[in-house]
Amino acid sequence: MPGASIEIEKLLRRHETNDAAETVTALAGVTLSIAGGEAIAIVGVSGSGKSSLLNAIGAMDQPTSGSVVVDGTDITRLGRSERSMFRRRIGYVFQQFHLLASLGALENVAAPLVPYTRARTARARARQCLADVGLATRERALPGQLSGGQQQRVAIARAIVTDPVLLLADEPTGNLDAFTGHAILELLLGLREARSTTLVLVTHDPAVASCCDRVIHLHEGRIAAAPPA
């Protein structure tokens, strides 16, 4: 299945501060097209709107106005249950691994399938995904028994177990040393190539960004033609 195409038009996201004293504009009219199967890096300083844009694409946050059209469907117009169903088509990878400490690697990877898939099928798919990320021999290992890089590999396996058309990664190498981070980036790009999955990756690391097909620079909630001086 080809990766998802994305059309973002005039995306605006405003939110109030905790004391409601002022309104902060996280996204200020972003317009962007992403082709199916493309690998995009989103870069910018802290507070530039990177995570806000990723959350809007992933239907994890509702924008104030504008549209996010994924494979012809404007996800900003979906109801709560429809948004939940849409998110099943997306794989998420975060800086924090968010693994369940009491479950082994195989069970962590199978978790997104449990409500919708028979246990035997879920475990078989999880086992294949662990093999795809190089952890076939660590199925029973608890997160606390794995290195940071191995935990991120488990998290990536969990993200791809649903065979997503879109993979969203928010600082996936941020908690890792340079060598391990490079290995994780190569893994993500290799999986994207093998599965024709669209990859949208947020990073502060120019070296990571340069490995993607295209780099989008955000500055104060807007797309900048070049990195701000």
The residue among 123, 139, 163 that closes a domain is 163
Domain co-membership, 184 together with 209: yes
Which pLDDT does position 164 carry in this prediction?
92
**3-state DSSP of the chain:** CCCCCEEEEEEEEEEECCCCCCEEEEEEEEEEEECCCCEEEEECCCCCCHHHHHHHHCCCCCCCEEEEEECCEEHHHCCHHHHHHHHCCEEEEECCCCCCCCCCHHHHHHHHHCCCCCHHHHHHHHHHHHHHCCCHHHCCCCHHHCCHHHHHHHHHHHHHCCCCCEEEEECCCCCCCHHHHHHHHHHHHHHHHHHCCEEEEECCCHHHHCCCCEEEEEECCEEECCCCC
- Summarised one tens digit per residue, pLDDT across range 133-160 is 999 999 999 999 999 999 999 999 999 9
Counting the structural domains of the chain, the total is 2
What is the pTM assigned to this prediction?
A: 0.90
Q: What is the pLDDT of residue 229?
A: 53
Q: Which of 112, 140, 163 is the last residue of a domain?
A: 163
Same domain assignment for residues 7 and 77: yes
Final residue in a domain of this structure, among 163, 187, 207: 163
CATH of the domain at 7: 3.40.50.300
- Which domain covers residue 192, as residue numbers? 1-89+165-229
Looking at the fold, whether 52 and 158 belong to one and the same domain comes out as no
Q: Are residues 188 and 214 in the same domain?
A: yes
Is 191 in the same domain as 109? no
| Whether 77 and 170 share a structural domain | yes
3 with 83, same domain: the answer is yes
pLDDT by residue for the chain (229 residues), tens digit each? 578 999 999 999 998 776 666 888 999 999 999 999 999 999 998 889 999 999 999 999 999 999 999 999 999 999 999 998 899 889 999 888 899 999 999 999 999 998 788 889 999 999 999 999 999 999 999 999 999 999 999 999 999 999 999 999 999 988 888 899 999 999 999 999 988 899 999 998 888 999 999 999 999 999 997 665 5
> Are 193 and 183 found together in one domain?
yes
Asked if 108 and 40 sit in the same domain, the reply is no
- Do 43 and 111 share a domain, yes or no? no
